[in-house]
Chain A
């Protein structure tokens, strides 16, 4: 069966079903965790792990959005010190920050201006937070990046807008240099220590309140991704924002691929010829 190469999907999840990772895609190299919201919370498509809900008070439920269906996280002050949703740990997640380079990213859409600092996507062990993507660090419209269980590095205010698909990508280039991308563009490059030896129970979290967070986000977190031993580049950051699901293969892709390249009943010459040859395959156009 031929798998079609979709040139551009955009930021809306193209289908509701459970995709698989196209490991031949350049963006999938060294991907060690990819929590993709299949409509009822993230599933780690790298390892097949299902999410655990740790704080049901901070989840509204399954809701649709212009970027696809998924859990709608519920904002508010911290009632209990528990992240909303987490994925199981793995050795690759635990050792992600032991050495640079590494990269971490999430796709999110905020629906309410946060009232206090909120963690969107992070890894944590119940105490330390090796990496973190957050909002409301200095103002209620900024984003924050945290490397190596360090301090938050805030963008300028005004980047965290509502009801827009945002991509946050933190890249640890070396043990002391970073690149922080917002919506595919380099935003800040703080010089901070990026390395941190993760504890054995370090796991990916979606909407948490660890470290200095005081509240939860209102909104969706469509995916959270971790790359070990890899620093994503500026073009890859751009691609990740413009076409975040370009390295996923959905069952629907394959069903439409069934009849691609079906030969017609006519017999055409198979020898080289300078003459224009009739098209021997049927073409399917994807919407």
Chain B
């Protein structure tokens, strides 16, 4: 019997499987070009994403930013193999030695506060406990606003029969 392969609606009214999550925010205040930072927030598959395997991620501007040509945010899941005690190694201003889990490309325009940019393609969620490791490759520092943070959020998505 034929059955349609559909997007799962889940319990969120925004179209996501469960409510969208802010992965990182205050850590991004004034993040310089080429600098990187790790989120304080720890995410887990069951506790954060409703065990959804995939997500749609986006960057929300807390203030005005004008990226250079070809600018983007590179984002990695910083995984922990022991339930959140020890995470992957990171080094200031040096990317992780593997391709980013997702990138958020930007145009060479002046983004105002509340500007929103989605990641290229869908994002595979991490199985183990994880933080988000972000490198600012926009070619410009992120906004300094501490009242409306620049943030990266993700909405879990799923498919179903």
Binding site for B on A (CB under 8 A): 15-18, 20, 38-41, 43-45, 47-50, 53, 56, 59-62, 69, 71, 85, 250-252, 254-256, 258-259, 262, 264, 282, 284
With a cutoff of 8 Å between Cβ atoms, the chain B residues found around residue A38 in the complex are: 103, 105, 120
Taking a contact as CB atoms under 8 Å apart, the answer to whether B120 and A18 are in contact is yes
Binding site for A on B (CB under 8 A): 1, 3, 5, 53-54, 68-72, 74, 95-103, 105-108, 119-124, 135, 137, 139, 159, 161
With a cutoff of 8 Å between Cβ atoms, the chain A residues found around residue B68 in the complex are: 53, 56
Taking a contact as CB atoms under 8 Å apart, the answer to whether B105 and A251 are in contact is no
Q: A17-B121, A40-B71, A53-B68 are in contact. Are A255 and B103 (CB under 8 A)?
A: no
Partner of A282, one of B3, B72, B119: B3
Taking a contact as CB atoms under 8 Å apart, the answer to whether A39 and B120 are in contact is yes
Taking a contact as CB atoms under 8 Å apart, the answer to whether B53 and A258 are in contact is yes
Q: Roughly how many angstroms separate A258 CA and B51 CA in the complex, as a whole number?
A: 14
Report how many A-B pairs have Cβ atoms within 8 Å: 102
Q: Provide the main secondary structure of the chain A interface.
A: loop
With a cutoff of 8 Å between Cβ atoms, the chain B residues found around residue A284 in the complex are: 5
A-B pairs with the 7 shortest C-beta distances? A17-B121, A40-B72, A48-B98, A40-B105, A16-B120, A61-B69, A59-B69
With a cutoff of 8 Å between Cβ atoms, the chain A residues found around residue B72 in the complex are: 39-41
**25 A-B pairs (CB sep. < 8 Å):** A18-B103, A20-B99, A38-B103, A38-B105, A39-B105, A40-B70, A40-B72, A40-B137, A43-B103, A45-B99, A48-B96, A49-B95, A50-B95, A50-B100, A50-B135, A53-B70, A56-B68, A56-B69, A61-B107, A69-B105, A71-B70, A251-B54, A251-B121, A255-B122, A259-B159
Taking a contact as CB atoms under 8 Å apart, the answer to whether A50 and B74 are in contact is yes
> A37's closest neighbor in chain B, by CB?
B70
Q: Roughly how many angstroms separate A207 CA and B159 CA in the complex, as a whole number?
A: 41
CB distance from A258 to the nearest CB of B (A): 6
- Please give 10 more A-B residue pairs, beta carbons under 8 A apart, in addition to A50-B135, A59-B69, A69-B120: A17-B102, A18-B103, A38-B105, A40-B70, A62-B70, A251-B54, A251-B122, A252-B122, A259-B5, A259-B159
CB distance from B97 to the nearest CB of A (A): 6
Taking a contact as CB atoms under 8 Å apart, the answer to whether B70 and A254 are in contact is no
Q: Roughly how many angstroms separate A38 CA and B108 CA in the complex, as a whole number?
A: 17
With a cutoff of 8 Å between Cβ atoms, the chain B residues found around residue A259 in the complex are: 5, 159, 161
With a cutoff of 8 Å between Cβ atoms, the chain B residues found around residue A252 in the complex are: 121-122
Q: Roughly how many angstroms separate A262 CA and B68 CA in the complex, as a whole number?
A: 47
CB distance from A66 to the nearest CB of B (A): 17
Q: Roughly how many angstroms separate A254 CA and B155 CA in the complex, as a whole number?
A: 18
CB distance from B60 to the nearest CB of A (A): 18
Q: A40-B72, A251-B121, A282-B3 are in contact. Are A18 and B99 (CB under 8 A)?
A: yes
> A46's closest neighbor in chain B, by CB?
B99
> A60's closest neighbor in chain B, by CB?
B69
Taking a contact as CB atoms under 8 Å apart, the answer to whether A59 and B121 are in contact is no
With a cutoff of 8 Å between Cβ atoms, the chain B residues found around residue A41 in the complex are: 70, 72
Q: Roughly how many angstroms separate A258 CA and B139 CA in the complex, as a whole number?
A: 38
> A283's closest neighbor in chain B, by CB?
B2
CB distance from B78 to the nearest CB of A (A): 14
> A62's closest neighbor in chain B, by CB?
B105
> A63's closest neighbor in chain B, by CB?
B107
Taking a contact as CB atoms under 8 Å apart, the answer to whether A16 and B121 are in contact is yes
> A250's closest neighbor in chain B, by CB?
B121
With a cutoff of 8 Å between Cβ atoms, the chain A residues found around residue B137 in the complex are: 40, 50
With a cutoff of 8 Å between Cβ atoms, the chain B residues found around residue A44 in the complex are: 99
Q: A60-B69, A61-B70, A258-B53 are in contact. Are A39 and B103 (CB under 8 A)?
A: yes
CB distance from A141 to the nearest CB of B (A): 27
CB distance from B76 to the nearest CB of A (A): 9
CB distance from A52 to the nearest CB of B (A): 9
With a cutoff of 8 Å between Cβ atoms, the chain B residues found around residue A85 in the complex are: 70
With a cutoff of 8 Å between Cβ atoms, the chain A residues found around residue B100 in the complex are: 18, 43, 50
CB distance from A207 to the nearest CB of B (A): 11
